[in-house]
Each structure stands twice: as structure tokens, then as C-alpha cells.
Amino acid sequence: MAASSYDVVGIGNAIVDVLAKAEESFLASQGLAKGTMALIDAARAEALYAKMGEGIEASGGSAANTIAGLASLGGRGAYIGKLQDDQLGHIFAHDLASLGVAFKTPPLKNGPPTARCLILVTPDAQRTMNTFLGACVELGPEDVDPDLVASAQVTYLEGYLFDPPRAMEAFRKAASLAHQAGRKVALSLSDPFCVGRHRPEFLDLVKSHIDVLFANEHEICSLYETEHFEQAAEHVRGHCEIAVLTRSERGSNIVTSKEMLHVAPAQVARVVDTTGAGDLYAAGFLYGLTHGRDLAACGKLGSLCAGEVIGHFGARPETSLRNLAKGAGLL
Amino acid sequence: MAASSYDVVGIGNAIVDVLAKAEESFLASQGLAKGTMALIDAARAEALYAKMGEGIEASGGSAANTIAGLASLGGRGAYIGKLQDDQLGHIFAHDLASLGVAFKTPPLKNGPPTARCLILVTPDAQRTMNTFLGACVELGPEDVDPDLVASAQVTYLEGYLFDPPRAMEAFRKAASLAHQAGRKVALSLSDPFCVGRHRPEFLDLVKSHIDVLFANEHEICSLYETEHFEQAAEHVRGHCEIAVLTRSERGSNIVTSKEMLHVAPAQVARVVDTTGAGDLYAAGFLYGLTHGRDLAACGKLGSLCAGEVIGHFGARPETSLRNLAKGAGLL
């Protein structure tokens, strides 16, 4: 196997987040299910935005957040995702470039605008997401650069890619290319409702094509249609080499055929906004995995990164994760 | 005089902020003068943005921040400023609307994009601003709605309006209309370099057309070309009915023909980003003034609002200023 140019290449929906605070009553009045991601069309995005409070805009996208976190740890990241050639698209591309992430997917020149996610953060720090996929619906297998995938130790796919029509082909192409090159394929289940929308496809992938699976408790239970976390953990044990199951304040579990490790959650002074928690956990874990750390150390790095991002508003780290990890004795 | 529909109408450069953290060395390498505002053209904006780190985007603009603060206190605000009909323009308009601020200036349909300000926040919490005026250069007297100005107790003008070519006409028209309607005209000097660029015009305005002047120590000293704050304060005493002079951690002074009051600065646990401090001080002060409070109470409201905005990243309040002021016994 050739030396790797990148630690991780992420493939995902390239999205700019619009974050605003909201009361529980606003979620109720808009019929929004707290803590989940709903797909919305352009008209609904307009209407919901018109009712939302003052917001801040920041680059987001699940896999892109993970790659941003990896870069903040000092890792070598690349990204594949579809933008429009518009102001929000320029912001998204700028932010990845500023982190040293390789991102060369050509943007659309016409058609739908850059995707946005309207994120409502309630006083309990939970985030409720409403995604208008915009340009992401045009991501296809032609956007997957075989050399790029072959040159990355891990190809990381977000489950949200099951939603846009052609991304699945890109997804399967990337997974296949990665395995041909002797690389690992990782997947995040992203969202319990997303899993529910595409359960058979997810199960097939997880059984046959995924080496490292990331899921939170709700997602893994949705995948195996059980209410019991332990049952879901047993199911996934035989399906993936490594399954990383996060449980918010209960920490995380790393499941392999041989063992089940528990990792303590990070200590956080005040949880402000959980947006990006899972994405940043994956960043820390994948940094560890691609730098030869044992699974326990990978989990600790994941917890540390998740802890940083939930301590402030927004889905990307505000401080150098590398310095933070060094300070904690993890690097 | 007819009853007022609005407490304050603000006129200013309608700008979306791009905020990123930066080291002192970055300012030095880019030849930027810390704590000030520099005007940049489109090419320089591109080049500087390409070198900046990952940012967040948020509605800004000095007078718009003030009106946003006024609205957060429960005041009735209106705004006049020029946007392009683009994504950043939509964000700016949305954010004012979400606060209940009346904003009806028609956006451009072609020509330059919505203005942006690249703001670099150094570890000492100082902000250094680089403004690409974009669509703001098209603001003109035709954008000043006479009925709107006549219906507001105070017309509030930002000094930055001296920079775009035709805004000065809008500025003078608004001041004249306000006085004809028996209303007050307030001005913020905005920036010592801006004062330096337009000193004769500023002096003429301050002497003849401004009832309430806001300036920080550097700006008022620049206006009167003195190094001594006390001298500048004496100069301004005869020129404006009320001069509000802010001095960061030394608090503020309110100067009238009869008295000079000192107002203590707000207690802030940790100063994170001084962007918007002056704008929010003006918000609190103008809320007090338009609600019949005495000058000392106006100053305390100003300090409180400035204290909120410097405690976090960004130039607009993150919490309800009304609740904050009530908690502090000021409302």
C-alpha cells in the first residue's frame, strides 16, 4: 500500500449553518422534533427563516465539521462536497482552505444555491436542524476523485448522504475505491430519522462495506429497530470491525469483536450548544486511529474534541484542538 | 410635535461582519492598525479574506448594531442602509426584521455586493476592522424617507457615512428633516481615522447640526486635534447639547453645558471581543434618552449594554438586553 497523503477524506453535504437561539415553544409551534434533522425545501426554508431570530452563519456540514476538527488536531484532511458558486459557497470553501483542508470539488455554476441548515438551539443546549440541501443534490460519483480516495487512510462518509438522490452512487464508488486501495471506510449514521428513511440500505452497507461505524444511541437503536442499547451493540459487533457508540453524558462505547471499551465523557463546565458533538467526536477518534493510537486513546481524543465543541455556540472548534489535546496529555 | 412612531431611526453602512481570531503577528504582516477601521476595495477584501482563518458571519454595521441593541431593550427602532439583493443582504435584512426593526430601504438589483467587514479579533479582545463598502456606496438622499425621519424621536447617524460618496447628502438631508420635525439628531464619530479623513466636515456638523454626540477618547481627541481628553471635552461642551465620551475600562463621561457626569464601566467577567462596544453603549444611552431617563441613568444603560457585547464574540447582543437591564434594576 502506498504511503498516504491524507489521514482522512470526508464526503458529505456541504452546508452553511444558520444558528439561532429558540424557545421550546417555537419548536412546538413549527412542528419540529427536538434534537433531530429534518429536510426542508426552498419554500419551507424561506418561511422558517423568516420566523427565526437573529442568527450567525458558520460553515457546517457533518463530515466537513469532522475534517475541520481533524485539521485542528494537526491531521491531514481532504473533503468532497457540492457547493454553488455563491456567497455562502465561498464562505464554506474559504473556511476549509483556511484550515489547510484539501477541497477541490467543482462548485455548480447554476441551479440551486449552497445548502444551508437552519439550526435552532434551545435553552437546554439541544440543537434542532432543518436542512435545505440546495446544491448538495447534485453531488454524484463524478465528484469522487479516485486518486484522492486512494491516498487517504480513511474515507469517512456521513449518513446524511443517503438523502440527496445521486450521493449514494458517490458514496458506494468511494467505499469501493477505498477498499481496492487497501484503505478503511468509516460511516457516521448521522441521525435516527435519516436511518429510518434508509434502513435497508444502511444495514446492507454496515454489514458489508463499513470498517468503522460511528453512531449515537438513538441512531444505533434505530438501525437495529430495538429500544435496548445493549442489544444494538451486540448486533453491530459482528458487522463492523469497530463500532463507536456515543451516549452523550454517559460517555461512549467502542465495540469490536474482541472487546467493549467504555470511554468517559469529557468534563464540560457548561454545555452551550450540542451542534457538532458527534462530528467532533469522530474527528478525535479518527485522528487517533490514523496515528496509531489504541482504541481507548482514540475514544479519549473523541471525547475531548466533542467536549470542546459543546462548550460554545457553533459546530466547529473555537480553539486549537491540538493544543487542547496536548494540554490534556493526549498528544 | 406629533407623537413618535419610533424611538430612533439609524442611518448607516449596512454590513455583514466576518469575524475571525488572529494573532498580533498577522496584523503586523498585513500592515493593519489594531483597533481601527480601514476601507478596502474588492480585490484587497478577496486577498485578505484568503489569508484569514475560519470565520463566522453575522449582521453588523455600526448604526444597525445600535438599533439592534435598542430593539433588544424593547425600544422601537428603524434603519436606513443599502444592501445588494444577495445572500449576505438577505441575512442582514432578516436579522433586523427578526428584531422588529423597520427596514425598508430598497436593495440594489445589480452592481456591487452587500458590504462586508473583515474583523480580526486578537487575543487581547481588540478588533481590527477592514471594510469593503460594496453596495453601501449607492446610499443616497433618495433613500431617506421624510416621514420615517419625522416620526422618530432621534435620528442617529454613524460617522462611517462620511466614507461612501453620496451618503453625506443622505446624512444632511436626514439631519435637516429631523430638525424641521422638532426631533433630535445624534452622531457617532465611529473611528479616529474616519474623523481624520473628514475632520472639517465633522467639525462643521458637530458645531451646527448635532444634538447628541457619541465618541470615544481617540475619536474626540482626533476631532479637536489634541492629545488631552480634558481639552477635547471642553471643546465639545459648547458644540453639542450632550456629548457622550466613552473611555473603555475608565467608563464614560457625559458632557453638557451645565455638567460633566462620570459613569462607571460595566463589570465584565472576561472581555472576549470589543466589537460593537461603542454601538451598544449608544443603544443603551438612546433608549434611556427616548424614555425620559436622566443622563446618569442613560449612561448606566449604555455601560450595561456595552458590557454585554464585549463578553462574547460578535457585535450584537446574545441575550435580551431588556431582561439584563431589569435584572440590574435599570428598567
**pLDDT score of B3:** 87
Interchain contact, A91 vs B55, CB within 8 Å: yes
Helix (H) / strand (E) element for A185: namely: strand A184-188
Q: How many CB pairs under 8 A join A and B?
A: 61
- pLDDT tens figures, A241-293: 999 999 999 999 999 999 999 999 998 999 999 999 999 999 999 999 999 99
A6 Cβ contact partners less than 8 Å away, ≥ 6 residues apart = A76, A77, A78, A102, A148, A151, A152, A153
Strand B252-255's sheet: what is its strand order? Answer: B102-103, B77-80, B6-11, B152-158, B184-188, B212-216, B242-246, B252-255, B260-263
Q: What are phi and psi of B53, to 5 degrees?
A: -75, 180
**pLDDT score of A251:** 96
Written as nine digits, the cell of B243 is: 456629548
Tell me which of B199 and A165 has the higher pLDDT.
B199
What is the torsion angle, in degrees rounded to the nearest 10, for the CA atoms of residue B82, residue B85, residue B90 and residue B91? Answer: -60
| Residue among A87, A88, A321 with most chain B CBs within 10 A, to mutate | A87
Which residue's entry shows cell 437591564?
B325
Which burial class, exposed, middle or buried, applies to B172 when counting CB atoms under 10 A from its CB (0-12, 13-18, 19+)?
middle
Query: Residue A239: is its pLDDT beyond 70?
Result: yes
Cβ atoms of residues B117 and B65 within 8 Å: no
B152 Cβ contact partners less than 8 Å away, ≥ 6 residues apart = B4, B5, B6, B7, B8, B9, B78, B178, B183
Using a CB-CB cut-off of 8 Å, the residues of chain A touching B21 are 318
- Determine, yes or no, domain membership for A30: yes
- Determine, yes or no, domain membership for B160: yes
Give the C-alpha separation, A66 to A10, whole Å. Answer: 8
Q: What are phi and psi of A259, to 5 degrees?
A: -150, 170
- pLDDT tens figures, B23-53: 999 999 999 999 999 999 999 999 999 999 9
- pLDDT tens figures, B310-330: 999 899 999 999 999 999 999
**pLDDT score of A2:** 77
Beta-strand pair A15-21/A56-59: antiparallel
**Mean of the pLDDT values across residues A193-207?**
94
**Mean of the pLDDT values across residues A107-134?**
97
- pLDDT tens figures, B74-93: 999 999 999 999 999 999 99
Query: Residue A1: is its pLDDT beyond 70?
Result: no
Average pLDDT along chain B: 96
Give the C-alpha separation, A304 to A126, whole Å. Answer: 19
SS3 state of residue A157: strand
Q: Which residues of A touch B (CB under 8 A)?
A: 18, 20-21, 49-50, 52-59, 68, 86-88, 91, 94-95, 97-99, 113, 314, 316, 318
Using a CB-CB cut-off of 8 Å, the residues of chain B touching A21 are 318
Which residues span the domain enclosing A300? 6-327
Written as nine digits, the cell of A261 is: 471499551
Cβ atoms of residues B180 and B152 within 8 Å: no
**What's the Rg (C-alpha) of chain B?**
18
Using a CB-CB cut-off of 8 Å, the residues of chain A touching B55 are 58, 91, 94-95
- Determine, yes or no, domain membership for B44: no
- Count the helices and strands in chain A (H runs, E runs): 13, 14
- pLDDT tens figures, A6-22: 999 999 999 999 999 99
- Determine, yes or no, domain membership for A1: no
- Cα B198-B237-B274 angle, rounded to 5 deg: 60
- Determine, yes or no, domain membership for B177: yes
**pLDDT score of A234:** 95
**Mean of the pLDDT values across residues A116-121?**
97
**pLDDT score of A121:** 96
Average pLDDT along chain A: 96
Which burial class, exposed, middle or buried, applies to A265 when counting CB atoms under 10 A from its CB (0-12, 13-18, 19+)?
middle
Whole-prediction pTM: 0.96
Beta-strand pair A15-21/A115-121: parallel
| Residues forming a β-bridge with B127 | B121
**pLDDT score of B2:** 77
Which residue type sits at B267?
Q
Give the C-alpha separation, A107 to A143, whole Å. Answer: 10
Query: Residue B165: is its pLDDT beyond 90?
Result: no
Q: What percentage of residues in chain B have a pLDDT greater than 70?
A: 100
- Determine, yes or no, domain membership for B30: no
- Determine, yes or no, domain membership for B250: yes
Cβ atoms of residues B130 and B40 within 8 Å: yes
Using a CB-CB cut-off of 8 Å, the residues of chain B touching A68 are 54
Cβ atoms of residues A5 and A283 within 8 Å: no
B99 Cβ contact partners less than 8 Å away, ≥ 6 residues apart = A53, A54, B68, B71, B72, B77
Write b or e for each residue in B297-307: b if 16 or more Cβ atoms lie within 10 A of its Cβ, otherwise e: bbbbbbbbbbb
SS3 state of residue B144: coil
Interchain contact, B91 vs A55, CB within 8 Å: yes
Tell me which of B153 and B165 has the higher pLDDT.
B153
Query: For residue A165, what pLDDT band results from cuts at 50, 70 and 90?
Result: confident
Give the C-alpha separation, B31 to B314, whole Å. Answer: 23
Interchain contact, B56 vs A58, CB within 8 Å: yes
**pLDDT score of A79:** 98
Interchain contact, B316 vs A99, CB within 8 Å: no
Of A52-56, A90-94, A163-167, B232-236, least confident by mean pLDDT is A163-167
**pLDDT score of A153:** 98
**pLDDT score of B1:** 67
Written as nine digits, the cell of A248 is: 452523550
SS3 state of residue A62: helix
Q: What are phi and psi of A251, to 5 degrees?
A: 85, -155
In this structure, what CATH number is given to the domain that contains residue A240?
Answer: 3.40.1190.20
Q: Which residues of B touch A (CB under 8 A)?
A: 18, 20-21, 49-50, 52-59, 68, 86-88, 91, 94-95, 97-99, 113, 314, 316, 318
Number of domains in chain B: 1
Using a CB-CB cut-off of 8 Å, the residues of chain A touching B53 are 98-99
- pLDDT tens figures, B233-280: 999 998 999 999 999 999 999 999 999 999 999 989 999 999 999 999
Cβ atoms of residues A314 and A56 within 8 Å: yes
Cβ atoms of residues B78 and B152 within 8 Å: yes
| Residue among B21, B94, B318 with most chain A CBs within 10 A, to mutate | B94
Interchain contact, B86 vs A87, CB within 8 Å: yes
